[in-house]
């Protein structure tokens, strides 16, 4: 078990249907297989709700992002070595985490997300990966315990990434590029805008590789278009007029543009 107790930082060991630390703190394993290590979260929901998590799973399982997923797998394979520990920070419903675990040999893979709904899908997707509910701003890992941290369109916490990575450890990040999903935004909004892409410098890390993946996909049903839209931040701020436009779209060719950057931790 890679995760540690979020209360005291001691190692967790499985005992029956729970994980327990030497200080007696206990965390039940859900029926889906994940463990909730997000303190103060009982009875509350964070991150993607159930509908959004299901939309993400349904869209990604159609293979529209496969070229991007393959590039991530190849990057993980290129920069990992046998025995490495890879942690997917903000793993969502586990699509990319699972593919890396299945395709990259001889490494240990774990993932966490702040959403219980996403973690439940992820844990059911792949039983060979340890999944937890946790936050990127308080990662339940020991200092210098991970060889690779993966961050795909998820909240960035430089301080925590520095803490959990070993010296010389790698941070693999993926972000959307300028034209990503621009046609979708144009079809829905009166004033569509392109993404702004910031510089690639991160304090305390050395950029060692940057790869751009750019292609287009024809989304062939309204259901798939709406599932894609629900994966984006735009979903939260869509009014009735824009929602009506979205409901009329039966087919749409969209730009899929990503950057995968690899950083080495210094010091």
Task: Return the CATH fold of 34-178+194-212+258-265.
Answer: Rossmann fold (3.40.50)
Instruction: Report the pLDDT value the prediction gives residue 254, as an integer from 0 to 100.
Output: 97
Tell me which residue of 205, 231, 206 sits closest to 65, measured CA to CA.
231
Q: Name the DSSP letter for residue 243.
A: H
Q: For every one of its 267 residues, what pLDDT tens digit does the chain have, with 9 covering 90 and above?
A: 799 999 999 999 999 999 999 999 999 999 999 999 998 755 456 778 899 999 999 999 999 999 999 999 999 999 999 999 999 999 999 999 999 999 999 999 999 999 999 999 999 999 999 999 999 999 999 999 999 999 999 888 999 999 999 999 999 999 999 999 999 999 999 999 999 988 788 999 999 999 999 999 999 999 999 999 999 878 777 889 999 999 999 999 999 999 999 999 997
Residue 145 burial (10 A CB sphere; 0-12, 13-18, 19+): middle
Number of H helices, E strands in the chain: 8, 11
Question: Which pairs count as long-range contacts for 220-226, CB under 8 Å and 24+ apart, including other chains?
Answer: 220/251, 221/250, 221/251, 222/247, 222/248, 222/249, 222/250, 223/58, 224/58, 224/59, 224/62, 224/64, 225/184, 225/249, 225/250, 225/252, 226/55
Identify the residue whose tokens are 């278009």: 225
Tell me which residue of 61, 29, 52, 64 sits closest to 125, measured CA to CA.
61
DSSP β-ladder status, 165-176 and 146-152: parallel
Tell me which residue of 43, 13, 18 sits closest to 30, measured CA to CA.
18
Cα–Cα distance, 63 to 228 (Å, whole number): 12
Instruction: Report the pLDDT value the prediction gives residue 41, as an integer from 0 to 100.
Output: 57
Instruction: Report the pLDDT value the prediction gives residue 261, as an integer from 0 to 100.
Output: 97
Residue 224 burial (10 A CB sphere; 0-12, 13-18, 19+): buried
pTM of the model: 0.93
Instruction: Report the pLDDT value the prediction gives residue 19, as an integer from 0 to 100.
Output: 96
Instruction: Report the pLDDT value the prediction gives residue 260, as an integer from 0 to 100.
Output: 97
């Amino acid at each position: 078990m890679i995760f540690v107790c979020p209360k005291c930082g001691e190692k967790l060991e499985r005992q029956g249907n729970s994980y327990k630390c030497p200080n007696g703190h206990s965390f039940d394993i859900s029926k889906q297989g994940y463990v909730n290590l997000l303190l103060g979260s009982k009875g509350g929901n964070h991150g993607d709700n159930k509908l959004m998590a299901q939309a993400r799973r349904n869209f990604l399982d159609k293979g529209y992002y496969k070229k991007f997923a393959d590039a991530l797998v190849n990057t993980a394979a290129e920069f990992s070595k046998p025995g490495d520990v890879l942690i997917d920070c903000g793993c969502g419903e586990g699509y990319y985490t699972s593919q890396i675990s299945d395709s990259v040999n001889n490494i240990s893979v774990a993932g966490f997300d702040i959403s219980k709904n996403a973690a439940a899908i992820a844990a059911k997707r792949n039983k060979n990966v340890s999944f937890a509910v946790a936050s990127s701003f308080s990662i339940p890992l020991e200092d210098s315990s991970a060889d690779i941290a993966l961050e795909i369109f998820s909240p960035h916490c430089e301080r925590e990434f520095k803490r959990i990575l070993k010296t010389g450890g790698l941070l693999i990040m993926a972000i959307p590029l300028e034209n990503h999903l621009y046609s979708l935004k144009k079809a829905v909004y009166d004033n569509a805008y392109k993404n702004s892409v910031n510089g690639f410098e991160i304090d305390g890390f050395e950029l060692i590789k940057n790869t751009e993946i750019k292609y287009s996909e024809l989304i062939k049903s309204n259901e798939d278009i709406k599932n894609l839209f629900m994966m984006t931040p735009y979903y939260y701020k869509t009014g009735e007029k824009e929602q009506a436009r979205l409901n009329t779209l039966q087919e749409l060719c969209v730009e899929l543009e990503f950057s995968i950057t690899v950083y080495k931790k210094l010091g």
